[in-house]
């Protein structure tokens, strides 16, 4: 059985990180599916999906690390071509990845104790 559900996640941009774990759990519970996989994918070239221990210090560490890898202030060929100055967002999203698969066992997401699904 396949169940598909669209979730809309509002972010502030600039590597805003949102915990979407509970929203995914609700979709899983409503589906009635007990075992399988949950595929989470973000549509868009400047956003990503990953897991993280969603606590303020680590969330800020992640933002700082992304800033060091692809700073907002960096000049990109993309920005020069399109004039939108968001090349850094595309680079961050590419490094993080657009999706992930989470195992589902006995109706529960198989995640580590401190592991949450996050949209960036």
C-alpha distances out from residue 112 to 1, 101, 115, Å: 26, 14, 5
H helical segments located in the chain: 21-31, 56-69, 77-82, 87-96
Tokens of 50: 């990953």
**pLDDT tens, residue by residue, 70-102:** 999 999 999 999 999 999 999 999 999 999 999
Q: Which domain holds residue 84?
A: 18-119
Q: Structurally, how many domains does the chain consist of? A: 1
Whether 93 is covered by a domain: the verdict is: yes
- Kindly provide the b/e burial profile for residues 51-63, where b requires at least 16 CB atoms within 10 angstroms of the residue's own CB: bbebeeeebeebb
**pLDDT tens, residue by residue, 27-53:** 999 999 999 999 999 999 999 999 999
Whether 13 is covered by a domain: the verdict is: no
The helix/strand/coil state of 118 is: strand
Whether 2 is covered by a domain: the verdict is: no
The CATH number for 36's domain is 2.60.120.460
């Amino acid at each position: 059985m396949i169940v598909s559900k669209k979730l809309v996640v509002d972010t502030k941009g600039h590597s805003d990180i949102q915990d979407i774990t509970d929203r995914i759990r609700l979709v899983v519970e409503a589906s009635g599916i007990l075992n399988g996989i949950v595929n989470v994918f973000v549509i868009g070239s400047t956003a990503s999906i990953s897991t993280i221990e969603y606590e303020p210090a680590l969330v800020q560490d992640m933002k700082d690390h992304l800033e060091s890898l692809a700073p907002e202030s960096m000049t990109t060929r993309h920005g020069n071509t399109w004039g939108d100055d968001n090349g850094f967002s595309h680079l961050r999203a590419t490094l993080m990845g657009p999706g992930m698969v989470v195992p589902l066992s006995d109706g529960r997401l198989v995640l580590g104790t401190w592991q949450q699904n996050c949209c960036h």
